[in-house]
Amino acid sequence: MSKIRTVEGITKESTEALISETLAAYPEKAKKKRTPHLAANDQTSGAACVKSNKKTVPGVMSARGCAYAGAKGVVWGPIRDMVHVSHGPVGCGWYSWGTRRNLMSGINGVTQFGMQFTSDFQEKDIVYGGDKKLKTLLNEAHELFPLAKGISVLSECPVGLIGDDINSVTKTVSKELDIPIIPCNCEGFRGVSQSLGHHISNDSIRDYIIETREFAEPAGPYDVALIGDYNIGGDVWSAKSLLEEIGLNVKSVWTGDGELEKIAATHTVKLNLIHCYRSMNYMCKVMEEKYGIPWLEFNFFGPTKIRESLRAIAERFDDVIKEKVELAIAKYEPIMQAIIDEYKPRLENKKVMLLVGGLRPRHTIGAYEDLGMDCVGSGYEFAHGDDYDRTAPEMPDATVVYDDPSEYELEKFAHTLKPDLIGSGIKEKYVFQKMGIPFRQMHSWDYSGPYHGYQGFEIFARDVDMAINSPTWKLVKAPF
Amino acid sequence: MANLLGLEVKTVTEIAPEEIERVHNWINSEEYKEKNFARQALVINPAHACQPLGAQLCAHGFEGTLPFVHGSQGCTSYYRSTLNRHFREPAPAVSDAMTEDGAVFGGQNNLHEGLENAYALYKPKMIAVFTSCMPEVIGDDLTAFIKNAKQKAFIPKELPVPYANTPSFNGTHIHGYDSMLVSILQNLTEGKQIEGRCTGKLNLIAGCDFNTGDYREYKRILKEFGIPYTLLADIGDTFESPCDGTYNIYAGGTKLEDAADSINGKATIAIGTYATPKTFSWIKDTYSGKHVTMSMPMGIEKTDAFIMKVAELFGKEVPASLKNERGRAVDAMTDSQQYMHGKKFAVYGDPDYLMGYVSFLLEMGARPHHILCSRGSKKAEKELQGLLDGSMYGTGCKIYMNKDLWHLRSLVVTDPVDAIIGDTHGKFAARDAKVPLFRFGFPIFDRVNKHRYPLIGYQGVINMVTEICNKFIDIKDETCEDRFFEMLR
The interface pTM score, or ipTM, of the predicted complex is 0.98
Q: Please tell me the distance in Å from A378's CA to the nearest CA on chain B.
A: 20
Length of chain B measured in residues: 489
Question: What pLDDT, on the 0 to 100 scale, is given for residue A3?
Answer: 82
Low-confidence ranges of chain B (pLDDT < 50): none
SS3 B368: strand
Q: From the list A89, A190, A214, which residue is nearest B133 (CB)?
A: A89
DSSP strand pairing (A400-403 vs A38-40): antiparallel
Question: What pLDDT, on the 0 to 100 scale, is given for residue B104?
Answer: 86
Fold match between A12-61+333-475 and A68-191?
A: yes
Report chain A residues whose CB lies below 8 A from the CB of B20. Answer: 107, 110-111, 147
Q: From the list B23, B81, B169, which residue is nearest A427 (CB)?
A: B81
- Strand partners of residue A423: A354, A440
Task: Give the containing element (helix H, strand E) for A457.
Answer: helix A453-469
Q: Is the pLDDT of residue A295 over 70?
A: yes
CATH of the domain spanning A223-317: 3.40.50.1980
Per-residue pLDDT of A122-171, as tens digits, reads 999 999 999 999 999 999 999 999 999 999 999 999 999 999 999 999 99
Count the alpha carbons within 13 Å of A315 in the hemisphere toward its beta carbon.
12
Entry pTM: 0.98
DSSP strand pairing (B163-164 vs B202-205): unpaired
- Strand partners of residue B203: B230, B268
Domain boundaries, chain A: 12-61+333-475, 68-191, 223-317
Per the CB < 8 A criterion, the answer to whether B71 and B131 are in contact is yes
Task: Give the containing element (helix H, strand E) for B372.
Answer: strand B367-373
Pick the catalytic residue from A40, A49, A63, A66: A66
Pick the catalytic residue from A39, A69, A186, A383: A69
A334-356 mean pLDDT:
98
Per the CB < 8 A criterion, the answer to whether A103 and A216 are in contact is no
SS3 A477: coil
Report chain B residues whose CB lies below 8 A from the CB of A435. Answer: 245-247
One-character DSSP codes across B397-447? -EEEET--HHHHHHHHHHS--SEEEE-GGGHHHHHHHT--EEE-SS---SS
What percent of chain A lies above the pLDDT cut of 90?
99
Question: What pLDDT, on the 0 to 100 scale, is given for residue B2?
Answer: 74
Note the Cα A342 to chain centre separation in Å. 29
- Alpha-helical segments (H) within A67-165: 67-68, 90-95, 123-128, 131-144, 157-162
Count the alpha carbons within 13 Å of B1 in the hemisphere toward its beta carbon.
13
Indicate the CATH number of A68-191 among 3.20.20.140, 3.40.50.1980, 3.30.1360.10, 3.60.20.10: 3.40.50.1980
Q: Please tell me the distance in Å from B68's CA to the nearest CA on chain A.
A: 8
- Strand partners of residue B331: none
SS3 A145: coil
The verdict on a CB contact (< 8 Å) between B10 and A96 is no
Q: What's the rounded Cα separation, in Å, for the pair A459 and A209?
A: 35
Q: What is the mean pLDDT of chain A?
A: 97
Note the Cα B62 to chain centre separation in Å. 17
Measure Cα distances from A424 to A171, A370, A381, A440 in Å.
40, 19, 10, 7
- Cβ of A47: how many Cβ atoms within 10 Å? 13
Measure Cα distances from B361 to A263, B347, B371, B460 in Å.
50, 10, 12, 13
- Alpha-helical segments (H) within B226-298: 256-261, 277-286
Band (pLDDT 50/70/90 cuts) for residue A1 is: very low
The verdict on a CB contact (< 8 Å) between B170 and A122 is yes
Radius of gyration of chain B (CA): 24
Q: From the list B2, B10, B79, which residue is nearest A207 (CB)?
A: B2
What percent of chain A lies above the pLDDT cut of 70?
100
- Cβ of B471: how many Cβ atoms within 10 Å? 15
- Cβ of B208: how many Cβ atoms within 10 Å? 28
A327-336 mean pLDDT:
98
Per-residue pLDDT of A237-263, as tens digits, reads 999 999 999 999 999 999 999 999 999
Angle (CA) A391 A392 A396, round 5°: 105
- Strand partners of residue A297: A274
> Which domains does chain B carry?
51-189 (3.40.50.1980), 202-319 (3.40.50.1980), 326-479 (3.40.50.1980)
One-character DSSP codes across A245-279? HTT-EEEEEEETTB-HHHHHTGGG-SEEEES-HHH
Per the CB < 8 A criterion, the answer to whether A71 and A224 are in contact is no
Per-residue pLDDT of A361-412, as tens digits, reads 999 999 999 999 999 999 999 999 999 999 999 999 999 999 999 999 999 9
Report chain A residues whose CB lies below 8 A from the CB of B89. Answer: 430
Interface test with B, best of A22, A55, A81, A94 (most B CBs within 10 A): A94
CA dihedral B303, B307, B312, B315 (to 10 degrees): 180
Question: What pLDDT, on the 0 to 100 scale, is given for residue A2?
Answer: 62
Task: Give the containing element (helix H, strand E) for B302.
Answer: helix B299-314
The CATH-assigned architecture of domain A12-61+333-475 is 3-Layer(aba) Sandwich (3.40)
Q: Please tell me the distance in Å from B241's CA to the nearest CA on chain A.
A: 8
Question: What pLDDT, on the 0 to 100 scale, is given for residue A340?
Answer: 98
SS3 A384: coil
